[in-house]
Amino acid sequence: MYEVPPQGGRRAVVTGASGGLGLEVARRLAGAGAEVVLAVRSLERGARAADLIRADHPDARLEVRLVDLADLASVRAFAEELLEAGRPVHLLANNAGVMRPRRRTETVDGLELQFATNVAGHYALTALLAPRLTAAGGARIAWMTSSAAHVGRIDFDDLQAARRYRPFRAYAQSKLADLVLARWMAERAGARGLDLVSAAAHPGYVRTNLFSNGASVGRARPRRSLLESRWLPHQEVDWGAEPMLVALTRPEVANGAYYGPGGPGGLVGPATLVRAPRRATREGLGDRLVEALAGLTGVELAL
C-alpha cells in the first residue's frame, strides 16, 4: 500500500471529502501530517468525516468548509474564504463527483449537473485558487477522472446535453474534460516555468455511493444503479484512493502524469502510470475547453 510521505507544513483542499474516495484521500493526507480542508456540501456529513479521520489520527489538523461545486456562487464564496484567511494552499484534490443522474438535471447556473459538478465547479475553484497555489511552492493539483474518459467525447455543440441527454455520455464527457484540464494546466505550468504540478488519477472500480447517489438524483427514494456490480473486479477505497494520493504526493510525479490501478482491466491494483487516450491529447482541445469554461463560469484560468 502506498505510504504518503510526510506532509507537515502542507495545506490540502480535498473536494468531496465527506465520503468515498475523498474521505480516504483526506484521511491519508491528514495521517501524513498535512492540514486538510474538507470541502463538503453538507457540514453535517463533513463533521462526521472529520470525526472518522480523528478516530484514526487524533492530532489531525482539519477544517470543514462548505462548498457546493454545482453552484458557482458557492464555489466563489468558498474560494474567497480560503483566500481571505491568507494561508497557503499546497495541494488541491479535485475529487467530488456525480455520476449518471437518470434525468437531465440543471443547476442554478443553467448547467447540466454532471458538467457543473465534475468540470465547471472544479475548473472555477482551480482558477480562483491558482494564484495561491502557484505562490505556495511545490504545489500539486490532482484531477479525479475515470476510465469512462477513455470512451468520452466533448461535444462543444451541446456541452450541456440540452439537445439530447444520455446519462453515461454526459458523465464520460465530464471525466474526459477533467483529464484534458489536468493536461492543459500541466502544459501551461511547464511552458511558464511555474512551480506547480497538475496530474490526473482514476480509481478503477470502487463500490462507493457514487452509483446509487447519481441514480437517486431527483428521486424521493434512493435507487440502485445497474453499474453497481458484485461481479466486476473491484477494490476498497484504500486502494482506490492511491492513484490520487500518488499524483498529489509522490515526489517524482511529472507534470501531466496520469495514474490508475495497474491490475486487470485497470479496475484494481496498485497505482501505476496510465497512458491518456488519444481523445484527451488532441491539439487545441484544452484551449477550446478552457475558453468555453471561462465563458460559462465567468472565471479566467490565468496561468
Ligand X SMILES: NC(=O)c1ccc[n+]([C@@H]2O[C@H](COP(=O)([O-])OP(=O)(O)OC[C@H]3O[C@@H](n4cnc5c(N)ncnc54)[C@H](OP(=O)(O)O)[C@@H]3O)[C@@H](O)[C@H]2O)c1
Contact 208, 21 (CB under 8 A): yes
Nearer to ligand X, 134 or 232 (CB): 232
* Segment contacting ligand X by CB under 6 A, of 53-61, 162-170, 185-193, 203-211: 203-211
Binding track, positions 124-143, relative to ligand X; x by CB under 6 A: --------------------
Cell of 164: 439530447
Interface residue with ligand X, options 198, 213, 249, 255 (CB under 6 A): 213
Q: Applying CB under 6 A, which of residues 28, 60, 79, 146 lies at the interface with ligand X?
A: 146
- Give whole-number Cα distances, 21 to 65, 207, 240, in Å: 18, 10, 7
Site string for ligand X, 241-280 (x = CB under 6 A): ----------------------------------------
- Counting contacts by CB under 6 A, is residue 117 touching ligand X? yes
Is 69 a binder of ligand X (CB under 6 A)?
Answer: yes
Kindly state whether residue 16 participates in binding ligand X, applying the rule CB under 6 A: yes
Shorter beta-carbon distance to ligand X: residue 25 or 189: 25
Rg (CA), the chain: 18
- Residues touching ligand X, count (CB under 6 A): 30
Whether the CB-CB separation of 147 and 202 falls below 8 Å is answered with: yes
229 sits near ligand X (criterion: CB under 6 A):
no
CB atoms within 10 A of CB 60: 19
The residue from 11, 100, 183, 202 that contacts ligand X (CB under 6 A) is 202
Cell 457540514 belongs to residue? 43
Among 10, 11, 12, 19, binds ligand X (CB under 6 A): 19
Interacting span for ligand X (CB under 6 A) from 189-197, 201-209, 271-279, 291-299 = 201-209
Q: In the complex with ligand X, which residue's Cβ is closer, 100 or 194? A: 100
Q: Which C-beta is closer to ligand X: that of 109 or that of 155?
A: 109
Interface stretch with ligand X, choices 64-72, 218-226, 281-289, 293-301 (CB under 6 A): 64-72
User: Does 2 qualify as catalytic in the annotation?
Assistant: no
The minimum distance between CB 248 and ligand X, in angstroms, equals 14
Task: Check binding of 101 to ligand X (CB under 6 A).
Answer: no
- Structural contact between residues 23 and 1, judged by C-beta atoms closer than 8 angstroms: no
Which residues lie closer than 8 Å to 128 by C-beta, 6 or more apart? 75, 76, 79, 80, 83, 299
Catalytic-role residue among 2, 123, 165, 171 = 171
**Contacting residues toward ligand X, per CB under 6 A:** 15-16, 18-22, 41-42, 45, 67-70, 95-99, 117, 144, 146, 202-203, 205-206, 208-210, 213
Please list the active-site residues. Answer: 171
